[in-house]
Every structure is written in C-alpha cells, then in structure tokens.
Amino acid sequence: MNNLISVSVLGVSKAGKTSCLVSMLDHFKKDFFENIDLHFTIDALSQRILMEQRGKLISSLDKGAIESTNGIRSTREVTKYNLKLGQKGSDSESLMVEFIDYPGSWLNNGNSADFANVKQFAANSQVLIIPIDSAYLMEMNDDTQPDIILEILKDVYADLSQPRLVIFTPIKCEKYYGTNDSNRNKAYHALLLKIQEKYENVLSFLTDKSRKKNISIVIIPMQTLGSCKLMYFSEPEYGVKDPVFVVTQRGVYSPKNTDQPFLYLLSFILKNQYESKNTGFPGFVRRLLKNHKYLNVTSEQLLQLCSNTNGIKVLQNSHITTF
C-alpha cells in the first residue's frame, strides 16, 4: 500500500487556492489531536512556508482596505506542504500527506504541458479542494472555473474506481457568511444557490450514477481572514475588476471554519486507508489481528468533530463515508 496521500487544490489564478490551504493548515496545531489517537509532524520547509504565507495574510489587515495587491500573491511554482501522521505510541507505519499548490494560470495559459501537470495532480489526489471566489460569483455573476474544472474531471474521473472526496470551499465570503442574523442567512443561502447554478454541469458529472458511489461531495465555506467585508469592485481603465474589502478590525486575524475542511478530508483519508488495507486475504488477517483498527476508530472520532451546520452542505456520500 502506498502511504503517500495527495491532496490538491483545483482552481484558476486568484481563485484563492493558496489562502485556502494556508488558512486550513494554520489550524493544524499540536493541541488539535489532543484527544485523538494521532501524532503528527510537519517538515521544517513546509512550516517555514506556512509561517511566511500566514504573515502575508495578517499584514493585509494592517490598513483600512484590502486590494488585490495585498496579502498572498499569485503562486508562481509548485509548492508542497508535507505532513506525517501516525498512531500515538506506536511503531506502525505512518501516513505521508502532501498538500499540493501550483500556479492557477496553468489551467488557462494555453500551455499544454502545464495543463497536463494539473490533470496529473488531480488524478493522483484522493482529495480535491475547489476554492470559489464568492465575491466575483455573487457581485459580478462571474466564475471562469466551472468549464475548465469540468474538462479536467471528465478526464481524470472518467473510469474512477477508487473513493475520492471533492470539497468546494467558498472563500472571500465574509459578506454572505459568518453570523446568525437572518439577512446573512439569506445571503448565504443565495450563495449556495449560485454555486449550484454555476457548477451545475460539474455537479451533474460528479453525481452521475456511474461514479457517485466513489465520490463524496461537500460544500464548506471558509473565511480565510475574517475582520473584513467586501466593499466594492475597482474600476480599472483596462483589465479585470478586482474586489476591495474594508477591514473591520485592523490587525485582527480571525479566520472562521478553517478547521472543517481539514476534519472532513482527514476523516475521509483515514477511512479510505483503513478500507484499502482490509481487502482480500491480507486484509482478513489484519482484521483478525486488529491491525490498523486505529485508522477506522480515528476516522470516526474526527467525523464527530465535523460540523453539519455552520453553512456546511453535504451533497453526496460515497460508499465509504457517512458525512
């Protein structure tokens, strides 16, 4: 069994792939697994990159407004964040989980080699995270991703035989999501409807009866910054309009819901690993010896921490998940 597990983001440039990953992995603290039978390590290079990117996110809140030139800039090269997971107090083999980021321009720059690389990342990943720019989607009624994403998925999921998890993560959603007041609830409901409308063909492909048993689908909104709210879109003489956010609390970094994608994907990964290791005669022996049982137990523990509220919408369970 290959113990290297890949998770990759799938989205065009400026969709928010890097911010999404950094905000999610920043929640990955040592006390995260305090009551869970897992230990983890993160390699020094990944830790350094995370701290640098986190610093850029925080510094974007220093001024009264956030423009496209603030915070994390577009990714220029492939970046991998490497985590090692294993059972506490055990010498059993560990799982290596790599989170893959890459230039979003590879999806639409016309370079066939770059596009092929994106397809390869997607094909090799047990989990795909698809960030959605909520501001563009809602205010400009614009999202250039769905057609490109559908093209990729039709290729890499054409003959899918292994379980996969697809997480749609609406980000830049502070205007529509985050409080319990009725107006905000209506706004988030409208955002969900818009996502399902714009990504209708993608969702139809993923939920087709020929592959639905192998694909779990969840929508999980994330506030990668908090403390800000969409104000308006810039009006450049040339080029693309960019969103401008007003900072509601200067210097206060308060991301929301960033733990949930990690909980869902880790529960899925451990469950999938457990099922894979317990197939056939070797799996029968492992079950008798209760080898790798911790994978299933820990998956269930993490599942209990997964929220089915906070704007999270489970669209489909595969045959191995019960989200």
Confidence band for 292, pLDDT divided at 50, 70 and 90: confident
Q: For position 206, what pLDDT does the model report?
A: 98
Residue 154 CB partners (closer than 8 Å, separation 6+): 205
Neighbours of 154 (CB within 10 A): 12
Q: For position 291, what pLDDT does the model report?
A: 59
Would the pLDDT of 29 be above 50?
Answer: yes
- DSSP letter for each residue of 140-202: S---SHHHHHHHHHHHHTTT--S-EEEEEEEES-TTTSSS-SHHHHHHHHHHHHHHHHHTHHH
Minimum mean pLDDT range among 21-30, 83-92, 140-149: 21-30
State pLDDT tens for residues 298-321.
999 999 988 877 789 999 999 999
Residue 318, exposed/middle/buried by CB under 10 A (0-12, 13-18, 19+)?
buried
Q: What is the pTM of this model?
A: 0.92
Distance of CA 11 to the CA centre of its chain: 11
State pLDDT tens for residues 189-202.
999 999 999 999 99
Would the pLDDT of 59 be above 50?
Answer: yes
Q: For position 284, what pLDDT does the model report?
A: 44
Whether the CB-CB separation of 216 and 316 falls below 8 Å is answered with yes
Mean pLDDT of all residues in 141-169: 93
Q: For position 240, what pLDDT does the model report?
A: 74
Amino acid (1-letter code) at residue 239: G
Tokens standing for 148? Answer: 């490109």
- What superfamily would CATH give domain 4-316? P-loop containing nucleotide triphosphate hydrolases (3.40.50.300)
